[in-house]
């Protein structure tokens, strides 16, 4: 499958990774190569094969409904690059 | 009932509505973390490092949230999927700490079900439920505290939600309203969601399309996001359907898009999003295992389920002889039904029904109280009614006693004793009072005897007045008849 | 040769500490000193924590003096900088976490601490564990302490746990933690002439370990001997209710399995691993391994793992898809480096453009692509189906054999400037390690010898689910037979 520069730019937007045009160009070539290589998976007959979800080793486990965590605002905020009082901040979001 | 139609220039249009209701699951802690799920709290205090998406933090599923989802599924008479799975829905937003929401996309815990609704004219309709799944709530962005920045509070982030998706079976704003109210009633009965729309415990995404009367298939729909009251859902459907009819009729096309309802302007408007902004890239959440539950657990939860509104309604009609209308009112809230049954059980059910639907509700209204903080308890009301039934007081005095109970919170028997309202059943005392009245009104007695029957009421009134209302009305009637005839 | 403090293995140091032949303070000081002497060049540490280590050593000596202390009491180790350590900067070798100080401790490091191990600092790695050269670190590449006999060129230590491998090989620590997603413990262990174990998926908790690919990431020990690895693994492993994929089963006394031998054991040799262009030296060391096991009484049979060829492309799809999502949280809002932007999206794009290196960006973009609308079925879903087939290959093989022997990597360590520019060529480094990761089965690498240019080569053993003990038994036979006593050019015990 061909992977054009427009698609690379679109993926970059979806993944919120800012790219220059030049970078888009470089990544396009590399990604095209990698995708070309993974396309060999099309040779495999996967008819009736279920997808593997996890390794199937652990037993499903559920937690008791108890408040055992939280109430640690300083921990939660201590690494914030731009904290305002009890809040994280972001540039103003206009809805 | 005549179908809801929008009359356009070129003909009649039908409205097609499907609802996605997001209901917050009642639980102590969050869906995947041990932080409190309680509403409110100081900003960023009901937050664990898991909720804030710190590196290396992992989700662990809350058993009670799963139980609540199963109970809800059972309440919707839906299929419970013993195998379900969580997926990640990937998108960036300020109040979504990990950059993905953990949800159930491909394999929801609850499959098809139905909700029975009753319209104002008594018509009953069944609205299909397509599916219901569990997912995390997002945090909150606060926009009005700073000129250039929005503030983020993650207290809600990670709280468990159920998303209940209906089939496009809804055909009018009224049906949509009835559906949400019914859903809310069921969830509240089950105790799986508190249904508090002001606090955002329930909100709906509304899918609306229109088609010409008699047309097959569906036209393009629009989704109105995050509508947070029954009234707004109904209004939004009305204005959105009209907007779509206007566009179709003027030869335009509807774009499939997300819209917002502005209740001030009573219009919907497009949430213009950048092209290709949404590609959620769902894939299985590999930090969690597939959710596999046992049928025996489902059976246990089913056995412990409270009585559902429809069942309760039918039972009240049968056990207490209440009408279809009365049972509807009495079961609207579980607390009302419980109150009613506490009063009516072992008492005169008809008397209980009349009192609760009459004087009792009126008193709640007047005092602005709810049944939960009623000034008169069910036990107190039952005592009052028992005083009527055993002829300690008569109905008229009972109303006076009840008002006193509302005001003072005292027991009926205490008030009756304090005020000396015990009904007089002493034949001698009543006879004496009647004799005095007949003697003082000899002219009226003569008129009565000459055939003016209506005056009987006058004598009753005078007697009751003389006895300060406390006389047993049946005895007054009987004695009056006897003495007037003599 | 005079014996030096740097001759200790983790096991022999443990005995010496208990016998009070050496103190924890002496041991720790000597290693801190070695780090100061050698690591400005090797660059195996991102963050050194000598003060904390010295304090801990004093406490350890006090415990040891009373005959107390856990199984690792007083032993200096290093921690891959992918494990969150409370109060100690944790970077994942990324600029985006350049100043991140976690207010929490990973379960694996908490277990090691509980048993008395002393961390000398945080070890370098490929950024977010994405790479097999350790050249993608935002804190600079790591130099392999080994040199070719005919050149002074800097060699790569392998990756992603390259700092861990280099530090252990150079004698800067007695052992280290690593993580393995597609070979990140085994391949650098092979490149640096040390031993490393990737346990069964679910054996060590992932809680507090910065995620690359959730369904593949697994922590494991790296050390100079298998016994040392066994000692570390016993401490690191165990059920953790905070990780839903953690497996609840008892942790065996791994050391006890080392002497079991391989008599009667069936060893499988997967024919599909004989890939085209496999260097003769790799082929030869593999054959050597086969002979060693035979001599020790194992029965060696050829087996087939028919989907081997597809392991690598399927791995890249699955791992990158998960990574693209796991790395979405690095957005400059709650932690990490932020680059301002006029809007929320501008902030995200600028922060992530500046914070992630090229390889990480490439993988995020690819991971985004294989999950995107219209491609999910063709890539992600198909890859997960192939993964099922890969796992079935192993399960089928284990019906007839107990353990599988293969090379760890298709080459020995190469020079920094020999790293191919084509990403696919770089990915091929993982060709022998990825299948076990995809299946979730345990595997280890032991040093087996040197190639003609004096660079170590490793052999890999792949075992049944949770049968790390058989791996250790077979590995121990290889280790004894190989009697790999070579030391790298750069080593703490070698005076400059």
Query: Å from B337 to nearest chain A CA?
Result: 29
Contact A69 B48 (CB under 8 A): yes
When pLDDT is averaged across residues C50-64 and rounded to a whole number, the result is 98
**Taking 90 as the threshold, does the pLDDT of residue B197 lie above it?**
no
When pLDDT is averaged across residues A39-62 and rounded to a whole number, the result is 89
Which of A22-31, B462-471, C367-376 shows the lowest per-residue confidence on average (mean pLDDT)? B462-471
Write down how long chain B is: 486
Contact A86 B284 (CB under 8 A): no
Write the pLDDT tens digit of every residue in C342-376: 999 999 999 999 999 999 999 999 999 999 988 99
Looking up tokens 């796991």, which residue turns up?
Answer: C326
Q: Any chain A CB within 8 A of the CB of C248?
A: yes
CA nearest to C104 within chain B = B49
Tell me the β-bridge partners of C458: C447
Q: Any chain C CB within 8 A of the CB of A62?
A: no
CA nearest to B91 within chain A = A14
Contact A61 B150 (CB under 8 A): no
Contact B279 C214 (CB under 8 A): no
When pLDDT is averaged across residues C376-387 and rounded to a whole number, the result is 95
- Rounded CA-CA distance C173/C10 in Å is 9
Contact C333 A80 (CB under 8 A): yes
- Rounded CA-CA distance B12/B210 in Å is 10
Query: Å from B61 to nearest chain A CA?
Result: 5
Write down how long chain A is: 95
Contacts of A95 in chain C (CB under 8 A): none
Q: For chain C, list the contacting chains (3+ Cβ pairs, <8 Å).
A: A, B
How many other C-beta atoms are found inside a 10 Å radius of the C-beta of residue B280? 18
Non-local CB neighbours of B277 within 8 Å, separated by 6+ positions? none
Q: Any chain C CB within 8 A of the CB of B442?
A: no
Please tell me which of the candidates B94, B152, B287 has its beta carbon nearest to residue C244.
B287
Contacts of A58 in chain B (CB under 8 A): 289
Question: If you ran DSSP here, which 8-state letter would residue B359 be given?
Answer: I
**Taking 80 as the threshold, does the pLDDT of residue A86 lie above it?**
yes
Contact C68, C36 (CB under 8 A): no
- Rounded CA-CA distance B44/C391 in Å is 43
Q: Which helix (H) or strand (E) holds B410?
A: none
When pLDDT is averaged across residues A54-75 and rounded to a whole number, the result is 90
Contacts of A90 in chain B (CB under 8 A): 94, 141, 149-150, 152
**pLDDT (0 to 100) of residue A58:** 82
Contact B142 A87 (CB under 8 A): yes
Q: Any chain C CB within 8 A of the CB of A49?
A: yes
> What domain range includes position C339?
11-496
Looking up tokens 């709530």, which residue turns up?
Answer: B137
Q: What is the DSSP string of B301-343?
A: HHHTPPPPHHHHHHHHHHHH---HHHHHHHHSSHHHHHHHHHH
Q: For chain B, list the contacting chains (3+ Cβ pairs, <8 Å).
A: A, C
Q: Which helix (H) or strand (E) holds C76?
A: strand C76-80
Contact A66 B29 (CB under 8 A): yes
Angle at C408 between CA C402 and CA C411, to 5 degrees: 150
**pLDDT (0 to 100) of residue A1:** 52
Query: Å from B94 to nearest chain A CA?
Result: 7
How many other C-beta atoms are found inside a 10 Å radius of the C-beta of residue B2? 5
Q: What is the SS3 assignment for C306-353?
A: CCHHHHHHHHHHHHHHHHHHHHHHCCCCCCCCCCCCCCHHHHHHHHHH
- Rounded CA-CA distance C345/B92 in Å is 8
**Taking 90 as the threshold, does the pLDDT of residue C118 lie above it?**
yes
Query: Å from C125 to nearest chain B CA?
Result: 16
**Taking 70 as the threshold, does the pLDDT of residue C44 lie above it?**
yes
Q: What is the DSSP string of B125-147?
A: EEEEEEEEEEEE---EEE-SS-S
**pLDDT (0 to 100) of residue C28:** 98
Contact C223, C175 (CB under 8 A): yes
From first CA to last CA, the distance across chain C in angstroms is 16
Q: Any chain A CB within 8 A of the CB of B294?
A: no
Q: By C-alpha distance, which of C347, C98, C44, C94 is closest to C212? A: C94
CA nearest to C377 within chain B = B283
The reply to whether the predicted model has a pTM over 0.90 is: yes
Query: Å from A33 to nearest chain B CA?
Result: 22
Q: Any chain A CB within 8 A of the CB of C54?
A: no
- Rounded CA-CA distance B438/C122 in Å is 109
In a domain, C69, yes or no: yes
- Rounded CA-CA distance C91/B463 in Å is 95
> How sure is the predictor about C1, in pLDDT bands with cuts at 50, 70 and 90?
very low
Contact B479, B431 (CB under 8 A): yes
**Taking 60 as the threshold, does the pLDDT of residue C432 lie above it?**
yes
In a domain, C330, yes or no: yes
In CATH, what number is assigned to the domain containing residue C104? Answer: 3.90.1300.10
Rounded (to 5) percent helix, strand, coil in chain B? 40, 20, 40
Write the pLDDT tens digit of every residue in B359-395: 999 999 999 999 999 999 999 999 999 999 888 888 8
In a domain, C98, yes or no: yes
- Phi first, then psi: give them for residue C112, nearest 5 degrees: -65, -40
**pLDDT (0 to 100) of residue B275:** 47
Q: Considering Cα of C8, then C11, then C12, then C17, what sign does the dihedral take?
A: positive
Q: Any chain A CB within 8 A of the CB of B269?
A: no
How many other C-beta atoms are found inside a 10 Å radius of the C-beta of residue B243? 18
- Greatest C-alpha distance within chain A: 57
- Rounded CA-CA distance C164/C448 in Å is 19
Contact C100 B289 (CB under 8 A): no
**Angle, to 10 degrees, between the axis of helix A21-38 and the axis of helix A5-14?**
100
Positions of C annotated as catalytic residues are: 80, 160, 184
From first CA to last CA, the distance across chain A in angstroms is 37
**Ramachandran quadrant class, C249 (left: phi over 0; alpha: psi -120 to 50; beta: rest):** beta
From first CA to last CA, the distance across chain B in angstroms is 60
User: Could you give all domains of chain B from N- to C-terminal order, each with its CATH number?
Assistant: 6-300 (no CATH), 318-410 (no CATH), 427-485 (1.10.10.410)
**pLDDT (0 to 100) of residue C225:** 98
Write the pLDDT tens digit of every residue in C246-268: 999 999 999 999 999 999 999 99
Q: By C-alpha distance, which of C216, C197, C207 is closest to C246? A: C207
Q: Any chain C CB within 8 A of the CB of A88?
A: yes
CA C76 centroid distance within chain: 18
Q: With pLDDT > 70 as the criterion, what percentage of chain C qualifies?
A: 99
Residues 9-28 of A with CB under 8 A from C: 11-19, 27
3-state secondary structure of C51: helix
Contact C113, C46 (CB under 8 A): no
Q: Considering Cα of C243, then C249, then C253, then C254, what sign does the dihedral take?
A: negative
3-state secondary structure of C112: helix
Q: Any chain A CB within 8 A of the CB of B138?
A: no
Higher-pLDDT residue of B184, C421: B184
Residues 144-203 of B with CB under 8 A from A: 145-154
Query: Å from B38 to nearest chain A CA?
Result: 10
**pLDDT (0 to 100) of residue B484:** 85
Tell me the β-bridge partners of B269: B260
**pLDDT (0 to 100) of residue B381:** 95
When pLDDT is averaged across residues C76-83 and rounded to a whole number, the result is 98
Exposed/middle/buried for C52, CB within 10 Å: 0-12, 13-18, 19+?
Answer: middle
Please tell me which of the candidates C307, C333, C375 has its beta carbon nearest to residue A44.
C307
CA nearest to A88 within chain B = B152
Please tell me which of the candidates B143, B151, B289 has its beta carbon nearest to residue A54.
B289
> How sure is the predictor about C496, in pLDDT bands with cuts at 50, 70 and 90?
very low
Contact C371 B283 (CB under 8 A): yes
* Six token digits for residue A32: 């095209």
Is the previous residue joined to C160 through a cis bond, with omega within 30 degrees of 0?
A: yes
**Taking 70 as the threshold, does the pLDDT of residue C495 lie above it?**
no
Contacts of A95 in chain B (CB under 8 A): 143, 260, 271
Contacts of A64 in chain B (CB under 8 A): 63-64
Interface of chain A toward chain B, CB-CB under 8 angstroms = 10, 13-14, 16, 53-54, 58-73, 75-77, 82, 84-95
* Six token digits for residue A93: 């979001």
Q: Any chain A CB within 8 A of the CB of C239?
A: no
Write down how long chain C is: 496
* Six token digits for residue B7: 């009359």
Q: With pLDDT > 90 as the criterion, what percentage of chain C qualifies?
A: 95
In a domain, C1, yes or no: no
Tell me the β-bridge partners of B117: B125
């Amino acid at each position: 499958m061909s992977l054009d520069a427009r698609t690379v730019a679109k993926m970059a937007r979806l993944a919120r990774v800012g790219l220059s045009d030049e970078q888009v160009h470089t990544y396009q070539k590399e990604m095209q190569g990698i995708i070309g290589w993974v396309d060999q998976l099309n040779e495999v007959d996967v008819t009736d094969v279920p997808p593997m979800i996890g390794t199937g080793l652990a037993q499903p486990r559920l937690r008791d409904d108890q408040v055992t965590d939280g109430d640690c605002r300083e921990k939660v905020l201590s690494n914030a690059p731009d904290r305002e009082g009890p809040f994280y901040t972001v540039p103003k979001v206009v809805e | 009932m005549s179908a809801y139609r929008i009359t356009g220039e070129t003909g009649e249009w039908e409205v097609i509505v499907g609802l996605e209701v997001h209901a917050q699951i009642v639980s102590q802690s969050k869906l995947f973390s041990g932080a409190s799920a309680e509403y409110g709290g100081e900003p960023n205090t009901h937050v664990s490092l898991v909720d804030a998406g710190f590196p290396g933090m992992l989700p662990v599923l809350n058993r009670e949230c799963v139980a609540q989802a199963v109970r809800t599924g059972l309440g919707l008479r839906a299929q419970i999927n013993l195998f379900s799975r969580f997926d990640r829905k990937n998108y960036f937003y300020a109040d979504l700490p990990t950059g993905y929401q953990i949800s159930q996309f491909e394999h929801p815990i609850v499959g098809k079900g139905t909700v029975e609704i009753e319209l104002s004219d008594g018509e009953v309709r069944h609205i299909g439920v397509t599916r219901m799944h569990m997912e995390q709530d997002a945090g909150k962005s606060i926009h009005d505290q700073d000129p250039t920045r929005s503030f983020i509070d993650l207290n809600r982030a990670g709280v468990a939600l159920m998303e209940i998706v209906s089939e496009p079976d809804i055909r009018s704003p009224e049906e949509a309203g009835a559906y949400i109210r019914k859903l809310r009633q069921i969830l509240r009965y089950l105790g799986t969601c508190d249904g508090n729309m002001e606090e955002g415990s329930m909100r709906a995404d509304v899918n609306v399309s229109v088609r010409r009367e008699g047309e097959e298939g569906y036209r393009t729909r629009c989704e109105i996001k995050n509508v947070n009251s029954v009234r707004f859902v109904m209004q939004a459907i009305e204005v959105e359907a009209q907007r779509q009819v206007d566009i179709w009729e003027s030869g335009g096309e509807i774009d499939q898009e997300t819209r917002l309802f502005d209740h001030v302007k009573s219009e919907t408007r497009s949430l213009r999003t950048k092209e290709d902004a949404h590609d959620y890239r769902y894939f299985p959440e590999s930090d969690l295992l597939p959710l596999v539950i046992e049928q025996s657990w489902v059976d246990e939860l089913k056995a412990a389920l409270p009585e559902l509104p429809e069942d309760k309604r039918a039972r009240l009609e049968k056990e207490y002889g209440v009408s279809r209308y009365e049972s509807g009112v009495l079961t609207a809230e579980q607390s009302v039904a419980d109150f009613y049954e506490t009063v009516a059980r072992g008492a005169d059910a008809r008397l209980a029904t009349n009192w609760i639907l009459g004087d009792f509700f009126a008193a709640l209204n007047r005092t602005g109280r709810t049944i939960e903080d009623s000034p008169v308890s069910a036990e107190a009301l039952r005592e009052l009614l028992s005083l009527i039934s055993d002829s300690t007081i008569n109905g008229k005095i009972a109303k006076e006693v009840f008002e006193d109970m509302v005001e003072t919170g005292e027991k009926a028997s205490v008030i009756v004793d304090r005020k000396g309202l015990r009904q007089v059943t002493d034949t001698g005392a009543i006879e004496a009072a009647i004799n005095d009245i007949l003697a003082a009104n000899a002219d009226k007695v003569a008129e009565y005897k000459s055939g003016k029957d209506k005056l009987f009421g006058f004598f009753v009134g005078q007697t009751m007045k003389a006895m300060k209302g406390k006389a047993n009305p049946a005895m007054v009637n009987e004695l009056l008849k006897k003495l007037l005839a003599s | 040769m005079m014996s030096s403090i740097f001759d200790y293995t983790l096991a022999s140091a443990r005995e010496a500490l208990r016998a009070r032949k050496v103190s924890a303070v002496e041991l720790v000081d000597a290693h801190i000193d070695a780090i100061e002497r050698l690591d400005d060049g090797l660059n195996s540490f991102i963050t050194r924590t000598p003060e904390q280590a010295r304090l801990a050593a004093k406490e350890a000596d006090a415990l040891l003096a009373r005959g107390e202390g856990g199984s690792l009491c007083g032993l200096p180790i290093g921690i891959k900088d992918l494990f969150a350590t409370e109060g100690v900067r944790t970077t994942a070798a990324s600029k985006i976490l350049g100043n991140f100080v976690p207010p929490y401790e990973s379960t694996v490091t908490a277990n090691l601490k509980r048993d008395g191990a002393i961390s000398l600092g945080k070890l370098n790695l490929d950024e977010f564990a994405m790479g097999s050269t350790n050249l993608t670190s935002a804190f600079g590449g790591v130099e392999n302490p080994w040199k070719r006999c005919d050149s002074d060129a800097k060699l790569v230590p392998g990756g992603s746990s390259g700092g861990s491998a280099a530090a252990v090989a150079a004698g800067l620590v007695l052992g280290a933690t690593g993580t393995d997603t597609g070979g990140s413990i085994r391949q650098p262990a092979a490149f640096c002439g040390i031993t490393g174990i990737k346990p069964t998926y679910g054996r060590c908790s992932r809680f507090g370990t910065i995620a690359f690919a959730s369904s593949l990431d697994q922590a494991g020990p790296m050390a100079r001997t298998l016994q040392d690895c066994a000692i570390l693994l016993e401490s690191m492993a165990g059920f953790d209710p905070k990780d839903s994929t953690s497996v609840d089963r008892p942790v065996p006394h791994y050391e006890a399995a080392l002497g079991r031998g391989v008599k009667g054991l069936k060893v499988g040799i997967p024919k599909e691993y004989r890939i085209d262009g496999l260097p003769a030296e790799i082929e030869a060391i593999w054959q050597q391994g086969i002979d060693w096991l035979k001599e020790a009484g194992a029965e060696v049979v050829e087996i087939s793992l028919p989907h081997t060829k597809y392991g690598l492309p399927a791995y890249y799809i699955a791992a990158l898809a998960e990574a693209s999502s796991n790395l979405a949280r690095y957005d400059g809002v709650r932690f990490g480096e932020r680059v301002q932007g006029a809007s929320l999206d501008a902030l995200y794009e600028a922060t992530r453009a500046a914070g992630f290196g090229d390889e990480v960006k490439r993988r995020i973009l690819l991971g985004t692509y294989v999950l995107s609308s219209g491609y999910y079925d063709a890539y992600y879903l198909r890859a997960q189906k192939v993964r099922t087939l890969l796992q079935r290959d192993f399960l089928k093989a284990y019906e007839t054999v107990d353990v599988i022997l293969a090379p760890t990597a298709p080459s020995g360590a190469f020079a920094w400037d020999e790293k191919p520019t084509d990403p696919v060529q770089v990915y091929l480094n993982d060709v022998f390690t990825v299948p076990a990761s995809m299946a979730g089965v345990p595997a280890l690498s032991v040093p087996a010898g040197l190639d003609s240019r004096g660079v170590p080569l490793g052999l890999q053993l792949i075992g049944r689910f949770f049968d790390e003990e058989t791996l250790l038994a077979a590995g121990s036979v290889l280790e004894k037979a190989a009697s790999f006593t070579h030391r790298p050019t750069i080593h703490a015990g070698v005076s400059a």
